[in-house]
Each structure stands twice: as C-alpha cells, then as structure tokens.
A and B are shown apart, each in its own frame.
Chain A
Amino acid sequence: MPIPTPFHSRTSALCESWEWRNWSGYLSAGLYEPSHEREYYAVRNSAALFDVSPLFKYEITGPDAARLVNRIITRDINKCAVGQVYYTPWCDEAGKVIDDGTVSRLGDNHFRITSADPSMFWFGDCAYGMDVTISDVSSELAALALQGPNARKILKEFVKGVDLDNLKYFRLAEGKFDRHPITITRTGYTGDLGYELWAPAKHAERLWDMLMEKGHGYGITPAGIIALDIVRVEAGLLLIEVDYISSHKALIEAQKSSPFELGLGWAVALDKGDFVGRRALLAEKKNGSKWAFVGLDIDWPALEKLYAAVGLTPRLAGRTSRVAVPVYNKSGKQIGQATSSTFSPILKKYIALATIESQYAALGTPVNMEVTVEYARKQAPATVVKLPFYEPERKKA
C-alpha cells in the first residue's frame, strides 16, 4: 500500500477528488478538485503547491564528495558554485541514461541529489575507494514545489534570511521559517517561476500551513500530478519511464537512450575529465546519435478535419497521455514515437514530446503523428518545433 507523505494530513483533507496516484510508493494526489483545470492555471496564473516529497533524496558528503558527484553526473560539478543547482542526467558506462535529477551544491563537499529511482546501489558502486558518505535522506526531508508567478511573493511573506529577489534561476539559499531550517531552490518541473522547498519532515505540516495561510491572498492552490504532467510537457521536460527508460531498467538495448538522444547534449561536459559513460559519449558525439528528442506541434486544422470526417470536433483528453504513439515521416515510414502528448490550455495547441530518428529532428520538419479518431487510426500532420513549447520570461527573471 502506498504510504502517506509528511504532508498527508493536509493533502488528504483537501483531496476532494479522491484520486490518488502511487508515486514511488507514496500516496500522491492526482488532483484535488474534481477537475484539474484550476490547478493547471494556478501554475501559469498565481501559484500552485505540489507535494514532491516522493522524490528520492541523497546527501553526499566527505573529502571526495565533489569527485564522486563529478564521476556520476555528466555535467562539470567544478563549474557549479556553492549555492548553485544543476539539473543533470547520469549514465552507465555505455553512455545510456540511468536517471536524471538535480544536484544542489550545499558546500564545497556537500551535495544533495534528487532522483526518480532508488540510487544508493549505483552511487555506492561509483564511490568505491572514495572517502565519502552517502545518505538516503528521502524520508527525512519533506519537499514542496511552489510554482507560478506569485511564488516569490508568497515566500517573501514568511521565509526569513533569504534574499529572494536576488535568488537566481537554479540557485539555492538556506533560510528559516518560524525558526525551522528550510532550503529553497529556484527549480521546478513546470517551466514557470517557481521554487522547491526542502524542510525536515517533522516540520512539514507547519510549512504547509504557513504557505496556505500566507499564500491565500495570492491564489495559492494545491495541485496534483495531473496538472503537473501538463505543465511539464509545455516546459519540454522529460519524465523517466514515460519519455525514456532508465538503462538500469531497460530489458533490451533498444530501450536505452543517451543524453544526446534525450535533448540533454547541453548537459554533457565531455571536456571535464573522466566520468561514467564519457568514452561512449565521446564516440557518440563523433559518430552522431541515432535518435533525437523533439517537440511536436500537431496541426490543429488538420486534426479538426480528421474529426470532421466522422462528424466530430477534436476530442482530446484534457490530461497528458502517457501512451506512446507512432510518428511517421511524410512517406509513411515510422520514424519514432511520441511518448507524452497533451492539449496545452495556455497555448491552445496539441503538443507532444517525441523521440524520432535524428535525421528528421531539424526544426520545421513535417511529420505525422498517429491519432485515434472514433476507433480508427489516423495520421495527423505535425511539425518539429523548438522546446520548450512555453517559456515565460519570469521563469528565469
């Protein structure tokens, strides 16, 4: 049975939908109200509050901590200042992605890593012979994501000791609420202005209550996974086990992906010295990648026509679909698959994240995506577009 997160007493009181998801073994609200719409718009309009405690969290400390982190991740940790946060994938020796997450540099040799899957075994193996301590702080640390245009204003109401106006994108600060410690990172999974808050689990309820009280006037809205799944697609952000499969879980080679193939080439620092997967990634960089991760913008008028042919208007689920569907080139050959697709309420577009053969990945390439119209499989024209689909200035401002 999934277990409650440290915020459960609060989230369960609010979860009128009774729709719960199992997120890494924790009860996680799918949505609070019977419809997720208000929760979605809170991210883009006011502030949404997500309980992200189910993330796995590890702390790495000790004289070799930076060395270890640099060995694991593909980015160069030496360029990450204390107080900075890196989003990064990490790979196996074949250069295939195991997981992706954030690395917060809390001190010269003190890091906090979030991951989607349990990672002690892998981190421990990589740490062989190094003077480090890896601790699993997943259950000790409660985590919330406060995302949306009003996020900063709400935090300023009650967080002490943090200069929020000057806390830049992907930076962190440690402060207090009520005398309790809190780490604030300007990160998120929404592509909007937002922060993630990390506090000892024992103070979780107090943190929630303060946020709800101080955020009330700013439209704070508890939000669940369904809204999150839409905004993360708009933001062009990957989801493990949906958009790619961990190389540690893949059953066949073809299921694995390199960072280049996931659009994370920018996060691979081949010049930083040795790290796990470097040799394979160097070779791939030289020889080119088979696959590319792209955004697809499905042609709405064409979609309307497909539906009109059977006397309907487009009928799309209001949620992100995690069912992979084939993507074809213009000659009808399958060139890949769209792994997440959703109607974007703010863009009024039907968009998808897809993995396709890299030769088709140039921006503007016309492709077709399979859609099912009244039980019949059809192909809807779509265009390869730049990710993210949606990026408000406030995200980094």
Chain B
Amino acid sequence: MAQKYDAIIIGGGHNGLVNAAYLAKAGKKVLVLERRHLVGGATVTEEVFPGFKFSVFSYVVSILRPEIIRDLNLPKHGLTILPLESTLTPLPNGDYLYRDGDHFRTLRDIARHSPRDAAAYDDYARWMYHMAKAVKYMLGIIPPDPTTLNPKDLGGLAALGTHIANLGPEQIYMLGKLMTMSSADFLEEWFESDPLKATMSASGIIGTYLGPRSPGTAYVLLHHYMGEIDGAFRAWGFQKGGTGAIAETIASAARSFGVEIRLNAPVKQVLIKNGRASGVVMQNGDELEAKYIVSSLDPKRTFLDLLEPGHVPEEQLAYIRKFNIRGSSGKVNLALDALPNLACMPGEGPHLRGAISISPSVDYLERAYDDAKYGNFSQRPYIDMIIPSMIDPDMAPPGKHVMSCFVQYAPYKLREGTWEEKREAFGDAVVDTLSEYIPNLKDIILYRQVMTPWDIEQVTGLSQGNIFQGELSLSQLFFLRPAPGLAQYRTPIKGYWQCGSGTHPGGGITGAPGRLAALEILKDWK
C-alpha cells in the first residue's frame, strides 16, 4: 500500500524546499522527491575535483526574500551570506572600471571615464530605488488576472491600481519607460561611458535570450536592484559553502518542521483520479499518495512531461508549449593552482573578492548576442566571474582557488553540431577571452568544468538549460507567468500546483515562488 502524505513536492530545488518548509510549518505532512543525490536543483555545491568546491550553477544571491529567512529561521540552519561588494570591469586596453562600497572612490573611478557619469550615478541610483520600490509590491503579491470578474482578482487589481496611482506621475512615466526600453537605451539616458553602460546593462540580459539593445531588457535591470531596498543585504552576496549551502540550509529548516526529503527519487508522472491529483508514480513504479501535489519543475515539465495529455485544456497547453525557455547561458568552473593575476590590477587585492565582469562595451555585449542570435555561442562572451575561495577560504585547499564564470551567450540550440561536440570549444572561448585580461590564467588551471545549456538540462532537469525556468521577459511575467490563466500557482487540475521559478515572480535564488505558492495552497486547504 502506498504511503500517504498531505503534500508531495516534486523537485528539491530551493523553491521546492521553501514550499515544503512553509507547508510543514503549517502542520502538513510533506514529502519532497528529488531526482538527484543531493538537494538544490540549480542551487548546488559539488566537489567535482578533489578539494575544490564548485557552486556548479547559480553562484551568487541577492534577493532571497528576507521574510523567508525570518519565517524559516534560516540563520539557525547555517545561512551565512557574505558580502560581495565590488564589481571590476577590466578593459582590453589595460584600463578598468572599479566600483565598490566606497561611494566616493567609486565616483572618482567613474569620473576617470566620464565626470558627467559620476554626477549622474546617484541620480540613476535614486531612480532605481523608486522603481524597485514600485515593482517590489508586485513581486510580493499573487498576480491578479486582469481578465476575470472574480472578486479576489478585482480586489487585487484595485489594490495594484492604488499602488501605482500612489507612485505619482514622475515614477509612473519612468516605470513605463523601464518596462518597454532596452537596457542600453535606458542607461543611455544617464550615462555616456561604455564600460559603465555595458556593465550595468549586463544585468538586463542575464538569463535572457536577448541583447542589451533588445527592448524589454531594462526591466530585468530591476531584478538585480531588488535586494538593495530591503535593507537586509547588500546588493549581492555569496553564501558560505557556495549556493548549495543555501539549499542545505532550507532543507535543514524544512526537516526541522518535519519534512521528509527523499533523494535519488525521480518522479515519472502525476496520478490523477476523478479529475483530481492523487499522487505520483515514481520512475521505479512505486506509487505515493497525497492530497496536494506541487511541482517545482519548470512549466514545460510540470504540464507536458508529468501529466498524461487530456487533463489540461489544449489551449492552455499550447501556451505552455510556446512558453519561452530558451537557455542562453553556460557556466565554466575552474580549479586554480594559484590566484589569477589581472593585467589591469595585478596582484592580490579586494577586487578579487568581488565580481569581475567582462563587459567592456555595449557593442561587445551586443556582438556576443549577435553570435547567439544565429545559433552560435559567443566567440567573445559576456562573463560574470567570481572567485569564491577569496570570500570563503573553505571552497578550495589553502592557497588554491576556485573560479566561477557565468557565461553568456550559449544558445541551447546550436545551428551546427551538438553541445557534446562543442562543449570544449565553448570552454576554450571562455578561457581565451579571460586570458586576455588574466595573462596567467592558462598556467594555473588545474581542472575545468564546462556546463553548457545542454549539460544544465541534463544535470538539473531545467528545460533547455534556462536558469530562470523561463525567460524573464515582460511577456512572461506577472499574470503572464508562466501563462495566462495559470499565473496563480494553480493548475486546471484540482490538487496539482506549481511553485518553481517558472511562476511569479520568477527566477533567481529568491524563494518567492515557493513561498507564495505555499501561502496560496494553504488558503485552498480544506
């Protein structure tokens, strides 16, 4: 006889775990099923090369919701987010742009490139503060559906309307611009120097299959500003032990509330009885029963893989089939014998404890996108690099280092060949690009792990290797995420729910979809 649970969560990524923890905290008997041998999904730390720990996929955290940290008491379970407060943009001519927590020092460095930009920097920050404050509200609510007359949705729309009206005209106009412009054009309204514009606009393209000059990317800039207004964190942080430790922390909190987590437990299908989800079938044929089944997987898997056809109306399935989930980025993780030595800032220094961004100009980023547009990985990609071992010495043996490189673009679908064939060529392009700025790099690499979108899909299960479970474009956000009529964590099947990054408010290590879904499920619970 199958075991009985109140809720089964499919997928032990950070959102699945957050969801499970909230449900269990409310007294439910919850089981998490994870396909792999460890929890985390794309939030994992693995010792791929002996002694060297890689945050294999996601690598930094900025917007893990403070209410989750408090509600689940995560610090007690080991949450330790260390500041990552500088961004260095090395330039091909040997110069650089360096921004850090020292405001005036940062302004001076910007002023070297353009005094006007330095004077505009605070003004831009003030606007982003306002915009983040405006949008933060929307991230924290269940997206009301503007097409129904359901009182709950109408109430939500009215509250949203009031919120927007209270922003005042100036901010509403700016919000309109932010929602429609490209990140490059938006930044152009303040800044003129290329390294600054490019490095800032890179925030607008991360995880999208769009370039800095593609309309809609300005909004994504905001996603990276959110953490700054909560007062809980600095902009970006690094979890001690890598991002996997965040998943472990949430898992530990979930267990403390009684959640059972089963590893090496791949789910084949969701069981449906009399139009209601009743359990799951495991790959090994076992059946498990529960009142609520919650999928933390991406929308494609949630609706197309885990369900037999026929349970969801064809029109809605069509939305899901059209849902944009093109993977566009890869990851290269390096084990290093020594510290990388930057040509623009030689030697050890605080700049190695922050982010290093290969984004010398907007043209550079747009060219990187040009390659991807036509099905090639970027020959000279955008790279966001950190050296975790400089922040947390336990990530590598003493004196040795690990380096994490987020690389864009790497389109999931290559025009020619397969990723298995092109993987090392892609890795070479990344190392060659980095070597232009870090002359000693090739001499100190002990081990190289290349994660293409295909590999990301293989390992984590994220469809097409998309890091956000679906692009963060405006057409796929709020009441459109993941699809019209499916944006409130429910599905057309009673008892079957969604809680992954493919739902509102989207990707990144926020935990917000998992939490909001849990709160909705608990409201639904009878």
User: Which A positions have Cβ atoms within 8 angstroms of B?
Assistant: 1-3, 22, 24-26, 117-122, 124, 136, 248-249, 251, 253
**Is the Cβ of B126 less than 8 Å from the Cβ of A136?**
no
Check A1–B105 contact: CB distance below 8 A. Answer: yes
Contacts of B188 in A (CB 8 A): none
Judging by beta carbons under 8 Å apart, are B116 and A22 in contact? no
CB-CB contacts below 8 Å: B65-122 with A:
102-105, 107-108, 111, 115-122
Task: Say yes or no: is B308 at the interface (Cβ < 8 Å to chain A).
Answer: no
Does residue B319 face the partner (Cβ distance < 8 Å to A)?
no
B47 interface hit (Cβ, 8 Å): no
Q: Which of these, A3, A24, A121, A251, contacts B116 with CB under 8 Å? A: A121
Is A120 a contact of B108 with CB atoms below 8 Å?
A: no
Collect the chain B residues with CB atoms within 8 Å of residue A117's CB.
Answer: 119, 122
Q: Which residues of A contact B116 (CB under 8 A)?
A: 120-121, 124
Q: Would A3 and B129 be within 8 Å (CB), given that A25-B103, A118-B118, A120-B119 are in contact?
A: no
Chain B residues with Cβ below 8 Å from A136 are 111, 115
CA of A248 to CA of B123, assembled, Å: 6
Q: In the bound complex, what is the Cα–Cα distance between A124 and B191 (angstroms)?
A: 12
| Closest Cβ–Cβ distance, residue B98 to chain A (whole Å) | 12
A248-B126, A249-B122 given; A120·B115 CB < 8 A = yes
Write 13 A-B pairs (CB below 8 A) sorted by A numbering. Answer: A1-B102, A1-B105, A25-B107, A117-B119, A118-B115, A119-B119, A121-B123, A136-B115, A248-B122, A248-B123, A249-B122, A249-B126, A251-B129
Kindly provide the distance from the CB of B167 to the nearest chain A CB, expressed in whole angstroms.
11
In the complex, how many angstroms separate the beta carbon of B130 from the nearest chain A beta carbon? 8
Q: Given A118-B119, A119-B119, check contact A25 B105 (CB 8 Å).
A: yes
A381 to B236, CA, bound (A): 48
Q: Does B364 lie at the interface of the complex (its beta carbon under 8 Å from any beta carbon of A)? A: no
Going nearest first, the 8 A-B pairs with the smallest beta carbon separation are: A25-B104, A121-B119, A118-B119, A121-B120, A120-B119, A136-B115, A120-B116, A120-B115
Q: Which residue of B lies closest to A24 (CB)?
A: B104
Q: Which of A3, A119, A121, A248 contacts B190 (CB 8 A)?
A: A121
Q: Which of B129-171 contact A (CB under 8 A)?
A: 129-130, 168
Q: How far is the CB of A45 from chain B (nearest CB, A)?
A: 34
* Chain B, 176-200, CB within 8 A of any chain A CB: 190
| C-alpha spacing A110/B470, complex, angstroms | 57
Docked Cα-Cα span, A2 to B107, in Å, equals 12
Interface positions of B (Cβ within 8 A of A): 102-105, 107-108, 111, 115-123, 126, 129-130, 168, 190
Say which residue of A3, A119, A249, A253 sits within 8 Å of B108 (CB atoms): A3
**Using Cβ atoms and an 8 Å threshold, which residues of chain A touch B119?**
117-122, 124
* Interchain nearest-CB distance for B24 vs A (Å): 39
Chain A residue contacts of B120, Cβ below 8 A: 120-121
Most chain-B Cβ atoms within 10 A of its Cβ — which of A1, A2, A26, A118? A118
Chain B residues, CB < 8 A from A120: 115-116, 118-120
Distance, CA A139 to CA B6, complexed state (A): 68
Shortest C-beta distance, B118 to chain A (Å), equals 5
Q: What 4 new A-B contacts, CB under 8 Å, besides A117-B119, A118-B115, A248-B123?
A: A1-B102, A25-B103, A25-B107, A118-B121
Task: Give the distance in Å from the alpha carbon of A22 to the alpha carbon of B116 in the complex.
Answer: 22
Q: Which residues of chain A are near B122, meaning CB under 8 Å?
A: 117-118, 248-249
Q: Name which of B104, B117, B122, B190 has the most chain A CB atoms within 10 A of its CB.
A: B104
What is the bound-complex CA distance between A120 and B119, given in angstroms?
6
The residue on A at minimum CB distance from B103 is A25
Q: How far is B117's CA from A2's CA once the two chains are assembled, in angstroms?
A: 20
| Closest-CB distance, A91 to chain B (whole angstroms) | 15
Residues of A within 8 A of B130 (CB): 251
| Distance in Å: Cβ of A19 to nearest Cβ of chain B | 18
Tell me which residues across on chain A come within 8 A of B121, comparing CB atoms: 118
Expressed in whole angstroms, the Cα–Cα distance for A122 and B108 within the complex equals 17
- Shortest A241–chain B CB gap in Å is 12
User: What is the bound-complex CA distance between A26 and B122, given in angstroms?
Assistant: 18
A121 to B191, CA, bound (A): 9
CB distance from B27 to the nearest CB of A (A): 41
Residue numbers in B under 8 Å from A25 (CB-CB): 102-105, 107-108
Q: Which residues of chain B are within 8 angstroms of A2 by Cβ–Cβ distance?
A: 104-105
Q: How far is the CB of A72 from chain B (nearest CB, A)?
A: 13
Q: How far is the CB of B131 from chain A (nearest CB, A)?
A: 12
What is the minimal beta-carbon distance from A313 to any residue of chain B, in angstroms? Answer: 40
Complex CA distance for A1 and B108, rounded to whole angstroms: 11
Among A22, A24, A251, A253, the residue within 8 A (CB) of B126 is A251
- With both beta carbons as reference points, the residue of chain A lying nearest to B117 in the complex is identified as A121
Q: Looking at A2, A24, A26, A121, which has the most chain B CB atoms within 10 Å of its CB?
A: A121
Residues of A within 8 A of B126 (CB): 248-249, 251
Q: Which residues of B are found within 8 Å of A118, using beta-carbon distances?
A: 107, 111, 115, 118-119, 121-122
Q: How far is the CA of A22 from the CA of B108 in the complex (A)?
A: 14
Q: Which residues of B contact A249 (CB under 8 A)?
A: 122, 126
* Minimum Cβ distance to chain A for residue B135 (Å): 16
Most buried by A among B115, B123, B190: B115
CA distance A122 to B120 in the complex (A): 8
A118 to B122, CA, bound (A): 9
Q: Is the CB of B115 within 8 A of A22?
A: no
Residue of A nearest to B190 (CB): A121
- Residues from chain B with Cβ under 8 Å of A22 in the complex: 104
**B118 / chain A contacts, CB cutoff of 8 Å:** 118, 120
Q: How far is the CB of A106 from the nearest CB of chain B, in Å?
A: 20
The residues of A that contact B168 with a CB separation of less than 8 Å are: 253
Residues of chain A within 8 A (CB-CB) of B107 are 25, 118
Give every chain A residue within 8 A of B190 (Cβ-Cβ). Answer: 121
A395 to B411, CA, bound (A): 72
A347 CB, nearest partner CB in chain B, Å: 35
CA of A26 to CA of B105, assembled, Å? 9
Report A99 CB to chain B, min CB distance, Å. 11
CB-CB nearest in chain B for A248: B123
Q: A121 to chain B: which residues have CB within 8 Å? A: 116-117, 119-120, 123, 190
| Interchain nearest-CB distance for A5 vs B (Å) | 13
Most buried by A among B117, B120, B168: B120
Cβ of A24: which chain B residues have Cβ within 8 Å of it? 104
* Minimal beta-carbon separation of A304 from chain B (angstroms): 41
Q: How far is the CA of A249 from the CA of B124 in the complex (A)?
A: 10
| Chain A residues in 8 Å Cβ range of B102 | 1, 25
What is the bound-complex CA distance between A249 and B103, given in angstroms? 14
Q: How far is the CA of A122 from the CA of B129 in the complex (A)?
A: 19
Nearest residue, chain A, Cβ from B130:
A251
Question: In the docked arrangement, what's the CA distance between A82 and B105, Å?
Answer: 36
A249 to B129, CA, bound (A): 11
Measured CA separation A163–B116 after assembly (Å) = 38
The residue of chain A having its C-beta at the shortest distance from the C-beta of B110 within the complex is A118
CA A24 – CA B107 in complex, angstroms? 10
Q: Min CB distance, A93 to chain B, in Å?
A: 11
CA separation between A1 and B115, bound complex, in Å?
Answer: 19
- A121–chain B nearest beta-carbon distance, Å: 4
Interface centre among B119, B120, B126 (most CB of A within 10 A): B119
* A26 / chain B contacts, CB cutoff of 8 Å: 104
The CA of A25 and the CA of B102, in the complex, are separated in Å by 8
Name which of A24, A120, A253 has the most chain B CB atoms within 10 A of its CB: A120
What is the bound-complex CA distance between A34 and B130, given in angstroms? 43
